[in-house]
Chain A
């Protein structure tokens, strides 16, 4: 099981939710996980219903069996200052640089440099050990940039190679790449059973593979329950309207005669069944496309009452049930 779990997905697929549920699932039974955010959106804080996360590892949840989830929102500017402090002992001078806009410069102008700092921080957490030589975190889960940018984001070596041909940033990029391309890392892609997210997932997987980055699992999120199956749908095309009206009437929904309360329900209910059938067929098509990728495929249910903290634990349990941890 890889210790760095990167979660990406098209915008709107719920990758932050899946990353958080995965961190919870992996923390079960006394494990400790770190959930890392790199895009400064404070999505984790919203999800766990806590105040905005500082640039600091902080416990945000406990998992069943005594596990713990820590969270960290990586700020590229602070990560750079951190880095300067670590390697150059630049306390006050770092602040002076910030004043001049130099930090802003280094972290925003060249995305490759910024990404090295972000992935570097995550890799550092993966490798960190305590005094007894035990890993501080059993797993690090990263809520990563969306599928469209994930390969560039992780492939920092290529990004930086053209800019920094030597020096500490270059070395840092090399070290980060060694972790990211190893078995220590798995990149999961979150999809929905809709055309665009599936297309992006397929493209993303092939880009990652081309860059020799380890693709992990496909997690289909917000899967709607099957209410009518093939046999039901076949019958909607054949069943006499009058029989359905009678049945509705028998269920206590009014008169079945023409114009009766039950009879007037038949058409709208069948229209809804048609819409359901169309969506059902589309979802099946999209699922088949994802299956062709030949990657482990998991499905998480759409939570009927919307997502809250309880729902997050529910998703974590579901991930465990499906053997993801």
Chain B
């Protein structure tokens, strides 16, 4: 019983289309965004495109397997990719501080750059501003696009508090650094001379006074020198932020919202879908990771549980009839929650049966009959079916709110992905889910 989406997202045509130049994977944290981005990149490369994947925070072993665990902030060619279709895969892990430093170094003469890099205020901003990572991810995307060395850039987005941060951060940092306050801080003399700015000037001196009191005068001076240096160097953060925005709205860009079939993740996905529409950013579809399936979906949870019950009861009846010779343990199957069944189980109703006691002593209580195993398999199946049902309900709620969004489902893997083979498998599942 696979979930049947209203509209299906076919990833292969999207990846193969030479007009697709940027794929942005976004969504809540912990839904497999990084893995999806890497799997899409690998699939596109093995289908013949020259791809670069920009990841933000990959699992250590995955990064190692792709050869990008060394943080040098430049794309590296990934080895072990099938290049029979003439594709290439390059990958890099974002180093936000380094990216920021590089912007400074590229736009300022060495002396000024050194002054900025050494400013404590810059150090705080570059390492920890609430949106620096988001901003730098977009900055790096812009740089990679400008180099024009790749047919396709697949970008992962930072694990933000909320998925929306990633759209807001560039504007926030841009408007902050271009803001009125910064202007006031950097050019009080100029403003003071202009008519109508008297009030602001009064506000200014009161404010710098207060800030000075609050933060200590040194900090304010650091801010002023920093902002002055940045201002003349950068030619406006807002301009850069605007350019990034345009790039994201451009026809060659496709957004994929990544989610898992869980309430919170899909709620976040729904916000994101609405937000992208409001910003006129092109949404290609939803990738729903970790969707469960069953080869025995014809057997419902209720019937499976009833059958498991039958097996348990049948055994009790058997034992009462003196046919317990084949059984190893007198316990009932209800104890399956405890892995420690080496400890004698709580007496079952029929625990007095001598035959059962005898065999239990021999098997140290850990042996299992086929009936017990079968009952366990049925209970496991019941759990799976309930999970399936829950996932379907959650997904249906999303698709009924957003029937226009195409969905690709990725069947759940039992373990983690940490090599190219695993990524390839995810890619296959992604394509198969459409």
Query: A residues engaging B (CB < 8 A)?
Result: 10-13, 39-41, 84, 88, 90, 93, 96-97, 100-102, 104-106, 108-114, 145-146, 148, 152, 159, 162-170, 194-197, 199, 225-232, 234-236, 239-240, 243-244, 246-248, 250-253, 265, 267-273, 275-276, 278-279, 282, 304-307
Contacts and interface: CB of A to CB of B under 8 A. Distances in A.
A250 B214 CA distance: 79
B176 A251 contact: no
A101 B178 CA distance: 12
Nearest to A163: B219
Contacts of A101: 179-181
B107 interface: no
A100 B59 contact: no
Given A88-B213, A250-B310, A252-B307, 4 more contacts: A100-B207, A228-B336, A247-B311, A251-B375
Given A101-B181, A102-B181, A279-B414, A169 B214 contact: yes
B207 A97 contact: yes
B128 interface: yes
Given A232-B368, A269-B378, A275 B373 contact: no
* Closest A-B pairs by Cβ, 7 of them: A12-B30, A11-B29, A268-B295, A167-B216, A268-B296, A251-B307, A247-B374
Interface of B: 28-31, 57, 59-61, 120-121, 123-125, 128-130, 159, 161-162, 172, 176, 179-182, 184, 200, 203-204, 206-207, 210-211, 213-219, 222-223, 263, 265, 294-296, 299, 303, 306-308, 310-311, 314, 336-339, 341, 366-368, 370-381, 383-384, 386, 390, 414-416, 418
A271 B213 CA distance: 68
Nearest to B212: A167
A244 B182 CA distance: 75
Contacts of B59: 195-196, 199
Given A166-B216, A275-B414, A279-B415, A111 B29 contact: no
B369 to A, nearest CB: 8
B338 to A, nearest CB: 7
A227 B376 CA distance: 6
Contacts of A228: 336, 373, 376-377, 380
Tell me what chain A mostly uses at the interface: helix, strand, loop, or mixed: helix
Given A93-B210, A110-B125, A163-B215, A282 B130 contact: no
Contacts of B162: 41
Contacts of A97: 207, 210
B415 A278 contact: yes
B434 to A, nearest CB: 23
B370 A167 contact: no
B214 A100 contact: no
A186 B162 CA distance: 26
B224 to A, nearest CB: 12
Given A88-B210, A235-B373, A11 B30 contact: yes
A159 B374 contact: no
B174 to A, nearest CB: 13
A226 B336 contact: yes
25 contacts: A11-B28, A11-B30, A13-B30, A102-B211, A105-B176, A106-B211, A109-B223, A110-B125, A112-B128, A159-B128, A162-B123, A165-B218, A195-B418, A225-B337, A225-B383, A227-B336, A227-B337, A229-B338, A231-B341, A239-B370, A244-B377, A248-B374, A252-B306, A268-B294, A272-B380
A160 B73 CA distance: 28
Nearest to A194: B416
B38 to A, nearest CB: 14
A273 B384 CA distance: 11
A1 to B, nearest CB: 29
Contact of B172 (A108, A265, A278): A108
A103 B15 CA distance: 45
A118 B60 CA distance: 31
A248 B306 CA distance: 11
A165 B216 contact: yes
B415 A282 contact: yes
B64 to A, nearest CB: 12
Contact of B295 (A148, A165, A271): A271
Given A111-B124, A199-B60, A100 B216 contact: no
B380 A276 contact: yes
Contacts of A110: 121, 124-125
A196 B210 contact: no
Given A108-B172, A165-B218, A244-B370, A306 B130 contact: no
A232 B372 contact: yes
A113 B223 CA distance: 13
Contacts of B30: 10-13, 197
Contacts of B223: 109
Contacts of A194: 416
Quick one: which of A152, A195, A231 has the most chain B CB within 10 A?
Answer: A231
B368 A231 contact: yes
Contacts of A268: 294-296
Contact of A100 (B180, B307, B380): B180
Contacts of A162: 120, 123-124
A44 B115 CA distance: 44
Given A88-B213, A168-B214, A41 B161 contact: yes
Contact of A170 (B28, B125, B216, B307): B216
B339 A229 contact: yes
B377 A230 contact: no
Contacts of A146: 29, 159
